[in-house]
Structure 1
Amino acid sequence: MTSLNDRENFIASYGALFEHSPWVVQRASAMLPLPSLHAGLMKVVHDATPEEQLSLIRAHPELAGKAAVDGTLTDASAAEQASAGLDQLTQEEFDRFHALNHAYAEKFGFPFILCVRLTNKAGILAAMESRLGNDRDTEIATAIEQIGEIVRLRLEHVL
Structure 2
Amino acid sequence: MIGRKEFVDRFGGIVEHSPFIAERAFDAGTVTEPLTAASVHAALVGAFRAASHEERLGVLRAHPDLAGRLAIAGELTEDSKKEQAGAGLDRLTPEEHRRFTELNDAYQARFGFPFIIAVKGLDRHDILTAFEKRVGNTQEEEFATACAQVERIVRLRLDALLPEA
- With the length of structure 1 as denominator, give the TM-score of the two structures: 0.94
> Which residue in the other structure is 1:110 paired with?
113
Mapped contact 2:24–2:47 kept (Cα < 8 A): yes
> Which residue in the other structure is 1:34 paired with?
31
Mapped contact 2:30–2:43 kept (Cα < 8 A): no
Deviations 1:4-49 (A, max 9, x none): x711111111111011111100111113353522111101111110
Mapped contact 2:67–2:90 kept (Cα < 8 A): yes
Deviations 1:84-117 (A, max 9, x none): 0000011000000000111101111110000011
Is 1:49 the counterpart of 2:46 in the alignment?
no
Segments ≥4 residues shifted beyond 6 Å: none
> Which residue in the other structure is 1:22 paired with?
19
SS in 2 for 1:76: helix
Quick one: distance in 2 between partners of 1:33 and 1:25? Answer: 10
Quick one: distance in 2 between partners of 1:152 and 1:32? Answer: 19
Quick one: distance in 2 between partners of 1:30 and 1:77? Answer: 27
Unmatched runs of 5 consecutive residues or more in structure 2: 33-38
Deviation at 1:118, TM superposition (A): 2.9
Unmatched runs of 5 consecutive residues or more in structure 1: none
Quick one: distance in 2 between partners of 1:39 and 1:46? Answer: 10
SS in 2 for 1:116: coil
Mapped contact 2:16–2:59 kept (Cα < 8 A): yes
Deviations 1:22-78 (A, max 9, x none): 110011111335352211110111111010000000000000000000000000000
Quick one: distance in 2 between partners of 1:24 and 1:50? Answer: 13
Larger RCO (CA within 8 A; separation ≥ 6): 2
> Which residue in the other structure is 1:141 paired with?
144
The structure 2 residue matched to 1:156, chosen from 148, 156, 159, is 159
